[in-house]
Amino acid sequence: MERYVVSARKYRPDTFGSVVGQEHVTATLMNAIRTGHVAQAFLFTGPRGVGKTTCARILARTINCENLGEDLSTCGVCPSCKTFEEGHSLNIFELDAASNNSVEDIRNLIQQVQIAPQVGTKKVYIIDEVHMLSSAAFNAFLKTLEEPPSYAIFILATTEKHKILPTILSRCQVFDFRRITTGDIARHLAEIAQKEGIKAEPQALHTIAQKADGGLRDALSIFDQLVSYSGDTLAYTDVLKNLNVLDHENYFNITDHLSKGDAAGALVIFNDILFQGFEGHLFVAGLAHHFRDLLVSQDPRTIPLLEVGDELGERYAAQAKAVARNFLVEGLTRLGNVDAQYKNSKEPRLLVELALIQLAQLATGARQPTGDVPPAEAEKKSPDVTVAAPGTGPDTPPATRKRPPAARPAGRVAGSVSIRQQLETARPAAAAGMVDQPGPQPGNIAHEPVALNEALLRRAWKGYAQAVKQQGRSSLHATLMANEPRITGPASISFEIVNAVQENYLREEKATLLGHLKRETGIADLELEVVLRETVAKPRYTAKDKFLLMAEKNPALFKLREDLDLDLGQ
């Protein structure tokens, strides 16, 4: 049986020119080799799987090659190159600091450094995961790193630069490796697929690249896994099945429904997604990313930020023209809130569904009467029939019927649906046994101000106070819970405080608090007045005053005073 080698090792770069996505690093190292300005200590830092150890090996092999080409390619025939390819080079040493992190390990390394190279001119020491060294090992290594022998070069590699001692950093040339772009990873995967004789769909490779999140090694591992599943043909559908990734088609369809105000259609798609076994949190994150991609597609200057294939990019451009910018911005805000609240919510599905309904209402601004016959024609054909608001028609169960809300938020068309108003008015209406009331006629559309609901205001206020408490701001929480807000007008509330310290807390927090209350109550012009309550000092009672007050209730005290000849003073 032929020995199998994973792609991450089989196609590991062996020259600077074959390194993917780190041109800023390879160009600097190549210029240093050409000019003979190679430092004696390097620190390669960056995320996993982006080429740190690979570049360290290429640098070590290049500076030891005896017959370098003009493009700094190694000859492969000199003793140094041969021993490197065979895996027993005498000039290149690799140390894994994750398992060799003690002082003794560093002392052994220092002793090896004192021995000059037998072949070639340089001895290179590559220390991987160097942040795992203990503090004592770092301190033991400092002197050798600062003043190494002329033939010794140290290359340190780490994923956690912040754990490296500043004294170590100051002795090294630091190279920051960045995440590899989705496009670079997809092109590299396409080259490997071609060499392996695998027919891969471009969208499948782009999806693998996105899943790898900037790590080429992760992308190659995923590629090998999918090839094992699908064989010589790598299809987009195979990638979706194996990587637990939602198809872009779901996001395009649900955005179409939301932009048309079709909340029911969006909820049906969301239900299908849950039925397929996908988690709601994954859907929220994916929809937010889809909105982001639509937003960057609306401006030619930000189109390069869209990391998708050409075919998918055209679909994004087409849908971006049909969706309003303010809808996408507000949608990103609301989805971000859902993302933050999802794990702590007892009803996460309801949380997502409510967000979808709100986005659908946001896209249309208001709900218009629907039916097979246009509203104007319906009036002509049936002048005696009125259009009832949702929840007030004859087909609605009596227990849930109600009158149309007496007041509606500014900017909302009469007859539109407000989930908050329905929840607040359903119980009083059922208790009072209200009968059907005709809704507003299509021709009599009016705008009416919303009335503050005391219960909703208190719930929103306590919710904000609870959020502040979870953030660790107990003083502000105590200030908010010391009193209750009071409604002073149709769109105004007041809150009493007792001292200047509370006044300072609310002055800093007022804008954020008021924004929260506006969103929760649906009143855009809501005003909050902070009132400093004047405290009147209690009068100081003298002994005589106290006696007179008690004697008024019990006159026998006067006789007791006379009998004992007591002097009460002033």
325: CATH = 1.20.272.10
**CATH at residue 84:** 3.40.50.300
> 360 and 236, same structural domain?
no
Same structural domain for residues 13 and 118?
Answer: yes
User: 128 - beta bridge partners?
Assistant: 96
- Residue 428 placed within a domain: no
Tell whether 568 and 502 lie within a shared domain: no
In a domain, 472, yes or no: yes
449-469 pLDDT per residue, tens: 556 788 888 888 888 888 888
- The domain spanning residue 226 has which CATH number? 1.10.8.60
Parent domain of 518: 454-532
- Residue 394, pLDDT score: 44
Chain segment 254-280, per-residue pLDDT in tens: 999 998 888 898 899 989 888 888 888
Domain membership flag for residue 411: no
Assign 413 a pLDDT band (cuts: 50, 70, 90).
Answer: very low
Q: For residue 428, name the pLDDT band (cuts at 50, 70, 90).
A: very low
- For the ranges 262-276, 293-307, 530-544, the one whose mean pLDDT is highest: 262-276
The whole-angstrom separation of Cα 245 and Cα 277 is: 11
Question: What gap in Å lies between CA 436 and CA 451, rounded to an integer?
Answer: 22
Whether residues 239 and 308 fall in one domain: no
User: pLDDT class for 21, splitting at 50, 70, 90?
Assistant: confident
Same domain, 137 and 169: yes
pTM of the entire predicted model? 0.56
Q: Are residues 32 and 83 in the same domain?
A: yes
Query: Is residue 168 located within the same domain as residue 214?
Result: no
Residue 210 to residue 376: CA distance in whole angstroms: 51
Identify the pLDDT of residue 43.
Answer: 92
Top pLDDT among 304 and 21 is at 21
CATH number (domain holding residue 478): 3.30.300
Does residue 342 sit within a domain? yes
Each residue of 176-197: pLDDT tens digit?
Answer: 998 888 888 888 999 888 888 8
Q: Do 527 and 541 sit in the same domain of this protein?
A: no
Do residue 157 and residue 11 come from a single domain? yes
373 vs 155, which has greater pLDDT? Answer: 155
Q: How many CB atoms lie within 10 A of CB 36?
A: 6
Q: Are residues 46 and 139 in the same domain?
A: yes
Q: What is the average per-residue pLDDT within 207-226?
A: 87
**How many domains are there within the chain?**
5
Do 87 and 194 sit in the same domain of this protein? Answer: no
Q: Is the pLDDT of residue 403 over 60?
A: no
Contacts 24+ apart (CB under 8 A), 285-289: 285/339, 286/246, 286/250, 286/251, 287/251, 287/254, 287/255, 287/335, 288/331, 288/332, 288/335, 288/336, 288/339
- Asked whether residue 108 is assigned to any structural domain, the reply reads yes
Residue 415: the pLDDT is: 44
Residue 385, pLDDT > 50, answer no
Same domain, 526 and 541: no
Q: DSSP string covering 547-562, please?
A: HHHHHHH-THHHHHHH
Residue at which a domain ends, from 149, 176, 203? 176
Q: What is the mean pLDDT of the chain?
A: 78
Please indicate, yes or no, if residue 376 is contained in any of the structural domains: no
Has residue 392 got a pLDDT over 70?
no
- The Cα–Cα gap between 412 and 366 comes to 6
pLDDT in tens, 105-124: 888 888 888 888 877 788 88
Tell me, yes or no, whether 393 lies in a domain. no
Q: Is residue 83 part of a domain?
A: yes
